[in-house]
Amino acid sequence: MAKEATTKEGSSSKLERSPIHLLHRAGQCAADIFQIEMGVSDLTPRQYAVLVTVSQNEGLSQTHLVDKTGIDRSTLADVVRRMLKKGLLQRRRTKEDARAYAVKLTDDGWKALKQADPIAKRVDDRVLTALPSQQRDRFLQDLNTIVQALAMPDPAGKSGKG
C-alpha cells in the first residue's frame, strides 16, 4: 500500500513538472472557458485564430495560414472547410500557384470576428487573472519564447520525430 501511494504521488508530481502536460491542460482549460463564453456560437478557438489571422493577412494562402497559426495542415484544411460551409471564409485559387488556395473573410466572417473579439479578450483576461498582475507580461513573453524556439526548424535536422 505504501509503495502504491508513493507511485501515485510520484506520478502526480511528475505531471506537475511536465511542461507538455501543463501546457496541454492550460490550453484545455482556456478552450473550455472560450466555448462557455461563446455561448450559442459554435466558433472554436482555432476558428477564431483563423479569423484573426486572415483578417490581418487578406488573401493569405492556406499554406501560409498553417505557418502563421501553427495549426497542422490537415486540421487547418478541415477548419477552413467548416468555416467555408458556415460562410465565414471564401477561398480562391492563387495566381502564383493554381494548386494553392487564398482565403479571405466574408461579410459574415467579419461580423463573427467583431462579435468574438471582446469574448476572446475576456477569456484572455480571465486566464491571465490566474497569475499575479506583475507576472502576466512575463508569462506571455515566456510563452512566445517557447513557441518561437520550438516552431523554428532544427538546422541540424534533429526534429526528434521518428
Rounded to an integer, what is the distance from CA 106 to the centroid of its chain?
A: 21
Domains of the chain (ranges; CATH) run 41-148 (1.10.10.10)
pLDDT of 34 reads: 95
Residue 161 pLDDT exceeds 80: no
The tens digit of pLDDT for each residue in 45-88 reads 999 999 999 999 988 888 899 999 999 999 999 999 999 999 99
**Count of all residues that appear for the chain in the document:** 162
User: In whole angstroms, how far apart are CA 55 and each of 44, 46, 90, 147?
Assistant: 16, 14, 12, 22
pLDDT tens digits along 87-115 = 999 998 877 777 778 899 999 999 999 99
Q: Whose CA is closest to 33, among 126, 153, 111?
A: 126
pTM over 0.85: no
- Whether the Cβ atoms of residue 147 and residue 70 lie closer than 8 Å to each other: yes
